[in-house]
């Protein structure tokens, strides 16, 4: 199994698991490798280091030789792994929201207003509306939260 660090044209990072390098190339050529966050097929492989077990046979860490210089860097930019973890957490949160809400589609504003005014029973809903309508709902005191609808969540609806 080959695990590749991938990135789409929108800078989203993620892992892809493939049987081989040829399998990755074949899937990419057929347009099957897409970003789980935005659906972009403009995916490229990122540099990644192999996992090396640097422990000795006894399980001890090898001691650096006396006088070995170690390069150290500090960066304010998140690493590939940190970005991937943040994106994975966001995706998990979005899946939880989808799983715990009813999709009312284009009737979202109507349903949200009716619940706010007590005309119908309160429940967790999600749906689609215009930005103008969302602002109007907020101005009326209806609690709404705009959410991106990610391609990776389509299979859950």
- Summarised one tens digit per residue, pLDDT across range 7-64 is 888 888 888 888 888 999 999 999 899 888 888 899 999 876 555 445 555 555 555 5
Check if the beta carbon of residue 20 is closer than 8 Å to that of residue 2: yes
Task: State the DSSP code for 136.
Answer: H
Domain-embedded: residue 57: no
Q: Would strands 102-105 and 125-127 be described as parallel, antiparallel, or unpaired? A: parallel
Cα 44 to Cα 22: distance, rounded to the nearest angstrom: 14
Rounded CA-CA distance 119/150 in Å is 31
Is 48 within a domain?
no
Please state whether the predicted TM-score (pTM) of the whole model is above 0.85: no
Where residue 133 falls among pLDDT bands split at 50, 70, 90? very high
Per the structure, how many domains does the chain have? 1
Q: What is the residue range of 132's domain?
A: 99-157
Residue 148 lies in a domain: yes
């Amino acid at each position: 199994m080959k695990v590749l660090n991938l990135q789409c044209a929108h800078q989203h990072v993620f892992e892809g698991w493939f049987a081989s390098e040829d399998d990755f190339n074949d899937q990419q050529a057929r347009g099957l490798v897409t970003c789980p966050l935005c659906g972009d097929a403009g995916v490229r492989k990122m540099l990644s280091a192999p996992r090396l077990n640097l422990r000795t046979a006894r399980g001890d860490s090898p001691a650096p030789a006396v006088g070995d210089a170690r390069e150290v860097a500090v960066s304010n930019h998140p690493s590939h792994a940190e970005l991937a973890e943040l994106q994975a957490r966001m995706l998990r949160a979005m899946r939880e929201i989808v799983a715990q809400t009813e999709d009312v589609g284009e009737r979202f504003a109507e349903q949200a207003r009716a619940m706010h005014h007590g005309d119908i029973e309160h429940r967790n809903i999600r749906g689609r509306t215009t930005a103008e309508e969302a602002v109007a709902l907020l101005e009326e005191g209806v609690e709404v939260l705009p959410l991106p609808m990610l391609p990776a969540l389509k299979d859950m609806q």
